[in-house]
Amino acid sequence: MTESVLVTRALVPEAMRALDGRCELDLYEGPPEAIPRDELLRRAAGKDGLLTLLTEKVDAELLDAAGPQLKIVANHAVGFDNIDVPACTQRGVLVTNTPDVLTEATADLAWALILASVRRVAEGDRFLRSRQPWVWGPSMMLGHDMSRKTLGIAGCGRIGGAVARRATGFGMRLIYHDPIRLPSDVEQSLGLAWVEFDTLLAESDIISIHAPLTPDTRHLFDADAFAKMKPTAVLVNTARGPIVDEPALAEALRSGQIFAAGLDVYEREPAVEEALLDLDNVTLLPHLGSATIETRTAMGLLTVENLLAGLADRRPPSLLNPEALSRR
Ligand code: GLV
């Protein structure tokens, strides 16, 4: 019997080819927006597997709509805040994500935003495109030096560590805050010092966020946090939007409480806080962290590998809830 699978958006061609003939495929090919919720509930019914993106909320309602035959939810993302993992575990549904394969690409993009924010790259590009007259000037569009500055990593897992590794060439001091301290040999090899969150806020010239979205990290960066940062500081977020209170960030940027920000993710994604769109000291990207050909291919293939393993009652390589195995 062929297992049936709902894929909520076409993956890169290599990954779609890896699915060919391996299951009965129901692919959402609607408009560019995410699959509407009512359609998701309807098309999930009777499926053995769901291949979801971060845009789909996988909760008890969806699991019930799918039915008791559902074996696996394979998420095409490393973050899984869109999935109610305990609800899946309770029903014996396996959940997988795509760790490791996107670490380097996401760290690269964090650095792209760091440099763009510190050196006003996107603002300079917009300025030239506005066709205003200009001439080189000693005080024109000044940013800040990188060298001898302090880079603060908020949340230091795989991606935070990769961001820290890239700082070596810039001659920076590196500090991090994470509720779980890294082993001291890892701290030493990355040149990272653990600090309290308030110290991270007060001492960092650049803060790059690499924490998962959880109830503890929601609005971790709010008006209080911005008040503790340096007026020359830059905030970069390539993790999840709701970790930053967007209206409070817009106000901190507008009033000069902090120097600049670089965002790849948004609180109410895909919506972007209107006040940010009018500010020159914020660089905005449409969630491109893992968006390289190589990385999206690896993510797609890993998602398919996870999915097919779950459908075949084998243990998927990136299983998040092994406890679900004993409930099937
Ligand atoms: C992207 O944001 C991911 O979690 O993979």
Query: What are 211-249's pLDDT values in tens digits?
Result: 999 999 999 999 999 999 999 999 999 999 999 999 999
Which residue of the set 120, 177, 240, 296 is catalytic?
Answer: 240
287 among known catalytic residues: yes
- In sequence order, the 6+-apart residues with CB closer than 8 A to the CB of 240 are 79, 81, 212, 213, 217, 265
Residue intervals in the chain for CATH 3.40.50.720: 4-99+293-327, 103-284
Ligand 1 midpoint to CA 176 (Å): 21
Per-residue model confidence as pLDDT tens digits over 120-153 = 999 999 999 999 999 999 999 999 999 999 999 9
Q: Cα separations (Å) of 185 from 18, 81, 136, 182? A: 40, 30, 47, 8
Contact 264, 285 (CB under 8 A): yes
240 among known catalytic residues: yes
Question: Is the minimum distance from the CB of 109 to ligand 1 under 6 angstroms?
Answer: no
Q: What's 23's DSSP letter?
A: S
CATH superfamily, domain at 4-99+293-327? NAD(P)-binding Rossmann-like Domain (3.40.50.720)
For residues 71-80, give the mean pLDDT.
98
Residue 141 backbone zone (phi > 0: left; psi -120 to 50: alpha; other: beta): left
Q: Is CATH 3.40.640.10 the right assignment for the domain spanning 103-284?
A: no
Secondary structure of residue 72 in the 3-state scheme: strand
C-alpha span between 5 and 8 (Å, rounded): 10
Contact 27, 51 (CB under 8 A): no
210 among known catalytic residues: no
pTM over 0.75: yes
Question: Is the minimum distance from the CB of 289 to ligand 1 under 6 angstroms?
Answer: yes
